[in-house]
Amino acid sequence: MTDSTRAFTSTGTVHAEGLSAPAAATFDSPADSGAWGAAPSARYESLAQAWRPLFARIRASAVERDVHHRLPHEEIAWLREAGFARVRLPREFGGAGATLPELFALLVELGAADTNVVNALRAHLGFVEDVLNSREAPWRARWLDRLATGTLIGAGLSEAGSAKVGTFSTHLTRTADGARLNGQKFYTTGSLFADWIGVAAQEGDATVYLQVPRTAPGVEVLDDWDGFGQALTASGTARFTDVAIQPDWLRPSAERFPYAVPFYQLVHLASIAGIGRALADDVAQRVRQRDRVYSHGNAARVSEDPQILQVVGRARSAAYAARAIALQAARAIQGSHDAHEDPAAGEVQRRRADTLAHVEVDQSVSVITRLVLDASTDLFDALGASATLRTEGLDRYWRNARTISSHNPRIYRERQVGAYAVNGTAPPTSYRVGKG
């Protein structure tokens, strides 16, 4: 199979010479395709249109998955087959060569379908950026070839144990029989769906990064994440017991791509913006279809009640603003990427672009979070008590947004923005969690 056919040959894929996708259900709204703001590029609509039927298929069963705790194995397989996991790769490696603003706009749309799926792909998308930005030519070439085949990467960085901040209890040791990996990770988001797990471990005083096949002997991944939100991300435990590590599984450098912190945070923000889009569509459709009114309401039809329309308008406005803010931050991240790709850019220019990416994402966190958390509660004011039924699935919007926003506390982002505004202090370029 050639690179072009390998990349663009299945449901909802982008084709080198055009676009094709199967028919699928669309949102039942007269306004669902307009007034959401400018596209991030001239080609974005043609790029996104190929995946929108697939996103709609994923959204159609989102409530059922949430109610019955059905992990999205099938849905992620659809995206893998469609080439979505390769969207940032160059075309010669089966990708679409998407820019960062294009990627994040797509993630907002996928987040409107199911934020569990976005979060399950977050580690993979970050690893792709590591590969694209790597200066280690052999390692980069090896992984570009693997990613071109549709290989998925899951997360294995965070721990819930007693390791101190800045260290990991998971450790790599060198023995006469080769390197061995031992330890336990938590928040291993997406690893149950992945082929490889990206792991951080201690080797003496140094931190090392490596990719370990999920099915390697000694690797065990559990679906034991029991958070009230994002319940289908497979963000539970991964155990590594005397895992024999091959030399080419080790990364040659512990250096991450320069915009890693704002990138990973913006994936979360795109997810939250997607929740805003979904709940805005959902409440509008329900109000449009609702035929039961209150005797003390303002109209014979709910869809004509001005107070109800105000609630719907507020929710939609929140979703509009959340997307616009997220895409503006994505442009700042693209600026960091471009500065490091530009051979004429000096170190001062690159540091400036990196700082702006961090600050613009930090500035976005509280605003997007507040907008969508408020909207996910206020939407019930436009509906009746039946909207609280578990089978309606409307509670998942708040549960998922609250869980996502708890990963990296917004209070620290606000403090960092204040420190930059008052003292010119650049935000930190890496974060660790552990015992104090």
Fold match, 171-249 / 259-423: no
Q: What is the largest distance, in Å, between two alpha-carbon atoms of the chain?
A: 81
Question: Higher pLDDT residue, 158 or 33?
Answer: 158
Domains of the chain, residue spans? 43-151, 171-249, 259-423
In sequence order, the 6+-apart residues with CB closer than 8 A to the CB of 305 are: 293, 297, 298, 299
How much is the average pLDDT of 146-156? 97
How much is the average pLDDT of 333-361? 97
Tell the CATH topology of 171-249: Butyryl-CoA Dehydrogenase, subunit A; domain 2 (2.40.110)
Other beta carbons within 10 angstroms of residue 205's beta carbon come to 6
The answer to whether residue 136 scores a pLDDT higher than 60 is yes
How much is the average pLDDT of 273-279? 98
Task: Report pLDDT for 47.
Answer: 95
Task: Report pLDDT for 9.
Answer: 34
Prediction pTM value: 0.91
The answer to whether residue 125 scores a pLDDT higher than 80 is yes
Tokens (6 digits) for 16: 């080198």
The answer to whether residue 162 scores a pLDDT higher than 80 is no
Task: Report pLDDT for 243.
Answer: 98
The answer to whether residue 18 scores a pLDDT higher than 50 is no
Task: Report pLDDT for 164.
Answer: 77
The answer to whether residue 60 scores a pLDDT higher than 90 is yes
In this prediction, residue 1 has a pLDDT band, given cuts at 50, 70 and 90, of very low
Task: Report pLDDT for 312.
Answer: 98
Three-class SS of residue 326?
helix
In this prediction, residue 431 has a pLDDT band, given cuts at 50, 70 and 90, of confident
Tell the CATH topology of 259-423: Butyryl-CoA Dehydrogenase, subunit A; domain 3 (1.20.140)
Q: Which of 23-27, 113-117, 431-435 has the highest mean pLDDT?
A: 113-117
Task: Report pLDDT for 165.
Answer: 80
- Mean pLDDT, the chain, whole residue set: 91
How much is the average pLDDT of 151-159? 94
Task: Report pLDDT for 328.
Answer: 98
The pLDDT tens digits of the residues spanning 72-108 come to 999 999 999 999 999 999 999 999 999 999 999 999 9
Q: Are strands 196-203 and 153-156 parallel, antiparallel or unpaired?
A: parallel
Task: Report pLDDT for 436.
Answer: 67
d(CA 100, CA 104): 6
φ and ψ at residue 116, rounded to 5 degrees: -60, -40
Class of domain 43-151 (CATH, top level): mainly alpha
Question: Higher pLDDT residue, 297 or 348?
Answer: 348
In this prediction, residue 429 has a pLDDT band, given cuts at 50, 70 and 90, of confident
Task: Report pLDDT for 32.
Answer: 52
d(CA 302, CA 158): 48
How much is the average pLDDT of 285-291? 94
The answer to whether residue 347 scores a pLDDT higher than 80 is yes
In this prediction, residue 24 has a pLDDT band, given cuts at 50, 70 and 90, of very low
Tokens (6 digits) for 94: 């089966």
User: Residue written as tokens 């320069």?
Assistant: 258
d(CA 28, CA 391): 20
